Structure 1
Amino acid sequence: MKTYQRYLLSPLYLFLPLMLVALSGIYFLVEFFERLEDVLVARAPVSVFFLYLAYRLPEILMQVWPPALGLAALASLAMLSRGQELLALRTLGFSPSRIVAPYLAAGFLLSLAVSGFLALSLPGASYRALYTWEVRIKGHRPQTVLSSGRLFFAGPDFLLSATPLEPRGEYLADFFYLKKGRTGPRAYLYARKARYLKRNRWLLEEGIYAERAGRFTPRVFRKKIFRIPFSPEVLLSVKQPLKTLSLRALRERYRFLRESGLSPAEPVSEILFRLFYPLIGVLVLAPALAVFLSFRGKRALAKGLSAGLAAVILTYAWFLGIKVLSAGGRIPPEIAYFLGLVLPAAFAILVLKRYAY
């Protein structure tokens, strides 16, 4: 790294932790006071509540990292501008693009590291937070247990094991059903896929069925409808939102929904969001820095900070809106994220080339 690059980035290493702590603290306080009344009503131990908040930390980091990175880079340039360092660099012939480039490179590398940490911690922590809130704090005592993404259900006269592929519990994989009797098992059923129809009827695919009346002689079927005494409403007491799933589990859910003829927009949107997450932080800070450098004169610092702050907010809101619209199927996820990445980059390049001093 060159000397001028280290000099430009030196304030970033000071402001970035401050911005992360500030934004995370705001998020943490809102979460604390929003949930506090429910905790008091449920009379849950305070230690369990703080454990729930600790499990929320990876998700909070995911939410605040892009704006924190943008604000830290913006504050770094503002600090240099106040001390006339930016003016000195411009006098020496440094272009705006050359000034912004070190921030883009450092932001991308830091975002890669954060993405790696979130890939390892976010799914497990999000599920533990959900389970802690629903079961240990709210006091729900579900008949179902989710362990490492797999569901185990104990009914009055049957046992079920399956992998949920959809948060509402309507689509399952590796479906195993055992019907119990007074003297032992009465029937067992396995299917690679299971889809809920209505009135306790399930469409099972690629499975095997055997019952005691037939001396447990296995019968293979490709597609068959079975009446099983449970429905998705009682199947999942602790649901698995997309944020609790790993990329591998999201890919399996995508394949299942596509093969079932249903819209896979939600898992595709989540997959693309995680894959492009390192670029989101960079594309939040790039327009802000470009806008900041476009102002000049006596009030350039105040105007640049205000415009840069607005650019951070609008750009991050743009990405969140893209995620919501693509997950809802209103815009194809591939097109949505292509536009989401290209437009902020094009805006920053245009400003740096035509309007920066």
Structure 2
Amino acid sequence: MRILDRYLAGAVIGGTLLTLAVLLPLLAVFVLTDEMGRVGSDGYELTDALLFVTLTMPRYLYQVFPIATLIGALIGLGQLAARSELVAMRAAGLSIARIVQGAMLGGLLLALLATSVGEVVAPAAEQRALAVRATATSGDAVKISGSGFWARDGNAFINVRQIEPGAKLSDIDIFVIEDHRLTSATHAREARYRDGHWVLSDIERSQIGLDRVDVERLDQARWDSLLNPRLLEVIVVEPHALPIWGLYRYLRYMQETEQDAGAHEVVFWSKVVQPLLILVMIFVAIPVLLGSARSTGTGIKLFIGIALGILFYLVSRTFTYLALLYGLNPALAAFVPLALLTFGAVMLLRRVG
């Protein structure tokens, strides 16, 4: 039985890898086409765009993994069905539960691979991609490191720990160096871009003299800087590109500061269910294949599987929008579509059995 389990798992894994080998180049072409609009402006060249696209591919691989798994399972197990191997297995006494178990073994390995890519490789590659684009468009004036975003603005050196959508910066340090010595150090809790300039909030500023340091605290102050939202757009990391532990820390920060974290919570829970979704997609593929093994061709089954994948995507997006619009529980928004898909697969499997 272990040999058959490995055989079924290998069919699922092989079909999924084949599907990814077809999908990823197509995605790369689409992303490169979108990125070509930046080429030729602000020092951004074709080589930079190609490197950026290459570095963002792990994130896209992670995002398409569930549908690729569904298609791959249909292809891999469909080949076994086309050669009547699944029929022979059942005739030899192999139950549907054992077929599911063997396929799920492959799904478990794929889920581990997808999680490794999505939570380890993709975030690091995405950060590197943004650093490549930021450096290309700003020269050496902008750097991204483990300590956050660094920029030089005249004789001031700026460190921003958190860049948020909507032209908002959090946890900012501004160091001014004159005559080869530090003359001023300013820390602000946040900054917002308004009417062509930045407004700092909750400020602590230290004026450093030769023999003394004067500290002042301000609620707000104007900050004129060369930094602008257009530049920051190229380095803002979207929530879906963050690792799950990074999202968790960010959610805690937003909750502590009493900010709306609904969109980030939805992304967090969608990442939680991603490995389960990969397993469920394989589970869905089995009744689709076994339900009409003799009367339906592989192409029709593949079409049915893709249609189910698209339907699930639409349902899950609907629940996401409902959660954001009506303030529903983000965990429910992530798990309900998965539960509906699992229930439908169980019903189909019982009918086949």
Q: Deviations over 1:127-154 (max 9, x none)?
A: 2223434542xx4458543223612233
Q: Cα–Cα, structure 1 residues 325 and 154, in superposed 2: closer, same or farther, change >3 Å?
A: farther
The worse-fitting range, judged by mean Cα deviation, of 108-117 and 177-186 is 177-186
Amino acid at match of 1:12: V
Q: Cα–Cα, structure 1 residues 119 and 73, in superposed 2: closer, same or farther, change >3 Å?
A: same
Measured in 1, the distance between the counterparts of 2:340 and 2:30 equals 32
Partner of 1:228: 223
Q: Is the 8 A contact 1:52 1:129 kept in 2?
A: yes
State the shift of 1:201 in Å. 3.0
Q: Cα–Cα, structure 1 residues 248 and 10, in superposed 2: closer, same or farther, change >3 Å?
A: closer
Measured in 1, the distance between the counterparts of 2:207 and 2:105 equals 63
State the shift of 1:286 in Å. 2.1
Partner of 1:72: 72
Q: Cα–Cα, structure 1 residues 149 and 246, in superposed 2: closer, same or farther, change >3 Å?
A: farther
Partner of 2:151: 153
Amino acid at match of 1:226: A
Measured in 2, the distance between the counterparts of 1:100 and 1:57 equals 31
Partner of 2:30: 30
For the aligned residue pairs, the C-alpha RMSD in angstroms reads 3.5
Measured in 1, the distance between the counterparts of 2:10 and 2:246 equals 40
Task: Decide which of 280, 283, 300 is 2:280's aligned counterpart.
Answer: 283
State the shift of 1:73 in Å. 0.9
Secondary structure of the 1:66 match is helix
The reply to whether residue 167 of structure 1 matches residue 162 of structure 2 is no
Q: Cα–Cα, structure 1 residues 95 and 23, in superposed 2: closer, same or farther, change >3 Å?
A: same
Q: How does 1:69-108 map to 2 (within 5 A)?
A: 69-108=69-108
Q: Is the 8 A contact 1:284 1:316 kept in 2?
A: no
Measured in 2, the distance between the counterparts of 1:91 and 1:296 equals 14
Partner of 1:262: 259
Secondary structure of the 2:352 match is coil
Gapped regions of structure 2 (runs ≥ 5):
none
Measured in 1, the distance between the counterparts of 2:193 and 2:135 equals 29
Q: Deviations over 1:162-208 (max 9, x none)?
A: 201523441412x32335667965543335x325385643322xx74
State the shift of 1:320 in Å. 5.4
Secondary structure of the 1:279 match is helix
Q: Cα–Cα, structure 1 residues 85 and 29, in superposed 2: closer, same or farther, change >3 Å?
A: same
Q: Deviations over 1:311-333 (max 9, x none)?
A: 23323454455556657786432
Q: Is the 8 A contact 1:153 1:235 kept in 2?
A: no
State TM-score, norm by structure 2: 0.81
Secondary structure of the 2:157 match is strand
State TM-score, norm by structure 1: 0.80
Report the count of equivalent residues. Answer: 348
State the shift of 1:58 in Å. 0.8
State the shift of 1:347 in Å. 1.4
Alignment identity in percent?
Answer: 20
Partner of 1:196: 192
Partner of 2:62: 62
Q: Cα–Cα, structure 1 residues 316 and 106, in superposed 2: closer, same or farther, change >3 Å?
A: farther
Measured in 2, the distance between the counterparts of 1:296 and 1:246 equals 41
Amino acid at match of 2:219: K
Secondary structure of the 1:56 match is helix
Q: How does 1:1-357 map to 2 (within 5 A)?
A: 2-36=2-36, 38-39=38-39, 46-133=46-133, 135-136=135-136, 139-141=137-139, 143-148=141-146, 150-156=148-154, 158-173=156-171, 175-179=172-176, 187-191=184-188, 193-196=189-192, 198=194, 200-204=198-202, 208-211=204-207, 215-218=212-215, 224-230=219-225, 233=229, 236=232, 238-242=234-238, 243-295=240-292, 297-299=294-296, 303-319=300-316, 331-353=328-350, 355-357=351-353
Measured in 2, the distance between the counterparts of 1:65 and 1:20 equals 8
Q: Cα–Cα, structure 1 residues 108 and 45, in superposed 2: closer, same or farther, change >3 Å?
A: same
Q: Deviations over 1:55-77 (max 9, x none)?
A: 12212321332222111111122
Q: Cα–Cα, structure 1 residues 181 and 86, in superposed 2: closer, same or farther, change >3 Å?
A: closer
The worse-fitting range, judged by mean Cα deviation, of 259-268 and 224-233 is 224-233
Secondary structure of the 1:306 match is helix
